[in-house]
Structure 1
Amino acid sequence: MGTPTEPGIVATGMAFGERHDVPATAADYVPDPETVTALGYDAYHRAAPGVTATDLAARAAREALENADVTVADLDLIVVGNSDVPDYLGWDPSAAVARSLGAHGTPTVLFTQACAAWSPALDHAAGAMALSPGVDTVLVVLVNVVSEAHSNRMDFNGCVASDGAVAAVVRRGHPRLRRLSSAQFTNPEYADLFRIEYGGAAVPLPPPGRGLRDVSPMASVYRHFGRDPERFQAFMKEITGRLADVVDEALARAGRDRSELTRLIHLNDNQQTFRAVADAVGLPLARTNAELARSLGHMGAADQLVCLWRHIEAGELALGDLVALTGVASPGMHWFCTIVEV
């Protein structure tokens, strides 16, 4: 049963980059496009030149406010999750989004845990409501715009990265799309996996003759495991095994179990990973967001809420259904699960 502080999602808004076909453009990103098309993606979205993450985030936020019949003045808190390189250094995207919305004086918070930022962002909204009686309405905005100067959207982590944003108006005690619980696990042994070597404070510039993207994150992963196939396979099994663990932990915290799950919504990963995730959690592949992932691409921290709303719009989720939102953030490395009751 819900408590008075338990938040529910009133409405969402979305903003995507321009849609592009994966098979038609893979050769623009990699020398062997077959390796990309084998991942199972049909399309991805790419922000037009000059369109920033802040632009997409603000566009999604305005749509969410309109859909919820809420004004900026009604907001008690704005929480932003930005899963890629920010527009600028020494700069707070959450404040920039608030400025775009005209939310002067409204507190803002920023989460940057890569593609897992959605989960702590929702947790923070719930925690603010639990701790502060005056916090009743929170805007949660999640955005991903790939910095192609820093990484290759088709050759980074086994996904085809995509540009998009989703915003959700979350209200205390709202009876629909209630956030029931969450769980997470971090294995710090993998803190350096997938890191971008150049452009940060440790190594601001690449060596002469090299570019920001001249180090392959996947090559770094293989080196971490000593190019040992057995160690790498054990790592892949750990990814799905730990995911099943956080699902069970989050369900237990909500007083539920796997038998009650209607659907699992994972990050928009490749199709092979989706099959492994479905097997690990014990759900048919058809009860995941695998098909949506094909046409959307991996929108970083926006994946889970985008797909949740798409499944609702398609009539694939009904009142009372239990959904596990899951993700793995390769920088870290972190596993997350949030349980939502439709």
Structure 2
Amino acid sequence: MADIARGTGAPPIPVSVLGTGSHVPSLVITNDDVGAEAGVTDEWIVRKTGIHERRYGKGDEATSDLAAAAARAALEDAGVSVADLSLIIVATSTPDSPQPPTATVVADLLQAPSTAAAFDLNSVCSGFVYALTAAASMIAGGGHALVIGADMYSRITDPTDPRTRVLWGDGAGAVVLGPATGRRALTATRLLTHTEGRELIQVPAGGTRLGTTAETLAEGLHYFAMNGRGVKEMVYATLPEALRTFLDDAGVDAAELAHIVPHQANAVMLAELHESLRFPRARMHTTVTEYGNTGAASIPLTLDAAARQGALQPGEKVLLCAFGGGFNFGFALMEW
């Protein structure tokens, strides 16, 4: 368990979210499009997932392209020059390539200064909150950080697998962190890992445990694989209690929450989870119905959508709630 603020009365993290941004590819993929190859119907996909469409990157687009576009939007919203950045973190589990880090490609696309450290962070769908936590700690003494969540799962899902292909879309979201301004303050985070669930979500081949061979390619072991039922059971069994403990330690009553921005895993699952959490005032924000599950991008993309719609008002408490492969959880509290 990792925290950067815990316990009632813990001092606020001295950073604020200065701006938000997001980007999705222009290519719209309907349920009929993915269902044709996966052998399922639009009705089946909507009933199981609540998803109606998603976006896919074109053949010449990579994760870094989506990340850089979201980054530019966040920098513009923040009124911060790329020259002022001291840190760039890209949370992704679908990098451009194993090496170099996708963050260094993004830094090059943005023409960031060499004084801005750039690195990737892989915590799958919890990656953005993990990166946010790391960045807040690293710039607590000053500076500006660009924190990006970006994924292109269209490149690693099996077109014929209805359990995974219908869920995923491509996208990126970003925030700029900087010195506390009195608004949009990041006040607490918590990171948790339940290793007993580490095999629920995986890409079995392509690493050092199981390399690339003709056999692994023939067996489709380079595709993303997920035990959907196991993931749901893990989230339902562990997330509510962990979240209540986090809020208690942060000195925040559930009734104070005005907004929840969760990982956009599945619209049906999120509706059930929202009901079970019983937060009396909190509005749950979603983009999953139109963009699908965008991995590490889903929380910052959805946060940006809510911010640009004017849904978040000054002083309101916002909860970011992530869960993903590992099995990892990440929570963050903001006072907008």
Superposition TM-score tier, normalisation by shorter sequence: 0.7 to 0.9
How far does residue 24 in structure 1 lie from its aligned partner after superposition? 2.6
Q: CA RMSD in A?
A: 2.7
Aligned pair partner of 1:31 in 26, 39, 62: 39
Alpha-carbon distance change, 182 to 149 in structure 1, aligned in 2, over 3 angstroms: closer
2:113 maps to: 104
- State the identity as a percent: 23
Q: Whose RCO is larger (CA < 8 A, sep 6+)?
A: 2
Task: Quote the Cα distance in structure 1 between the aligned partners of 2:174 and 2:217.
Answer: 41
Q: 2:137 aligns with which of 127, 130, 141?
A: 127
Q: 2:257 matched to 1:261?
A: yes
* Cα distance in 2 between the residues matched to 1:143 and 1:216: 16
Which residues in structure 2 correspond to 1:173-184 (within 5 Å)? Answer: 173-184=180-191
Instruction: Say which of 72, 78, 93 aligns to 1:83.
Output: 93
The aligned counterpart of 2:197 is: 190
The corresponding residue for 2:55 is 45
Is the Cα contact below 8 Å between 1:205 and 1:212 reproduced in 2? Answer: no
Q: Does 1:72 align with 2:79?
A: no
Q: 1:242 and 2:238 equivalent?
A: yes
Residue in structure 2 matched with residue 225 of structure 1 by the alignment: none
Shift of the alpha carbon at 1:143? 0.6
Q: Indicate which of 306, 310, 318 corresponds to 1:311.
A: 306
Describe how 1:3-42 pairs up with structure 2 within 5 A.
6-33=14-41, 34-38=43-47, 39-42=49-52
Provide the residue aligned with 1:251 in structure 2: 247
| Whole-Å separation in 1 of the counterparts to 2:306 and 2:102 | 29
Structure 1 residue corresponding to 2:276, chosen from 265, 274, 280: 280
Question: Counterparts of 1:319 and 1:112 in 2: how far apart (Å)?
Answer: 32
Q: 1:312, CA displacement in angstroms?
A: 2.5
Check 1:91–1:152 CA distance in 2 against 1; reply closer, same or farther (3 A cut): farther
When structure 1 is superposed on structure 2, of 245-254 and 180-189 the one drifting more is 245-254
**For the Cα contact (< 8 Å) 1:250–1:339, is it kept in 2?**
no
- Cα 1:59–1:154 change in 2 (3 A) is farther
Residue 323 of structure 2 is aligned with which of 304, 316, 328? 328
Report the AA paired with residue 248 of structure 2.
A
Q: Secondary structure at the match of 2:59?
A: coil
Deviation at 1:151, TM superposition (A): 4.1
Match of 1:210 among 205, 218, 233: 218
Q: Residues 255 and 280 of structure 2 are in contact (CA less than 8 Å); yes or no, is this contact kept in structure 1? A: no
Aligned counterparts of 2:138 and 2:258: Cα–Cα separation in 1: 28
Q: Tell whether 2:299 aligns with 1:289.
A: no
Structure 2 spans left out of the alignment, 5+ residues: 1-8
Contact preservation (8 Å) 2:156, 2:224: no
> Offset of 1:65 from its aligned partner?
1.7
8 Å Cα contact 1:78-1:138 kept in structure 2: yes
Secondary structure of the corresponding residue to residue 138 of structure 2: helix
Q: 1:208 to 1:306 in 2, by over 3 A?
A: closer
Alignment CA distance shift 1:93-1:42 (3 Å): same
Q: d(CA) in 1 for partners of 2:187 and 2:314?
A: 15
Q: Aligned residues, how many? A: 324
Question: What SS does structure 2 have at the residue aligned with 1:272?
Answer: helix
Q: Deviations over 1:116-148 (max 9, x none)?
A: 111111101111123xx2x32111111111253
TM superposition shift of 1:253: 3.5
Secondary structure in 2 aligned to 1:28? helix
User: What TM-score comes out, normalization by structure 2 length?
Assistant: 0.86
C-alpha distance in 1 between matches for 2:269 and 2:102 = 31
User: Is residue 2:170 matched to residue 1:163?
Assistant: yes
Residue deviations 1:26-73 (CA, integer Å, cap 9, x gap): 323411234323211111111111100011111221222222222121
- In 2, the alpha carbon distance for the partners of 1:257 and 1:4 equals 17
Task: From 141, 144, 147, give the equivalent of 1:140.
Answer: 147
SS at the partner of 2:155? coil
Which SS does the other structure have where 1:176 is aligned? coil
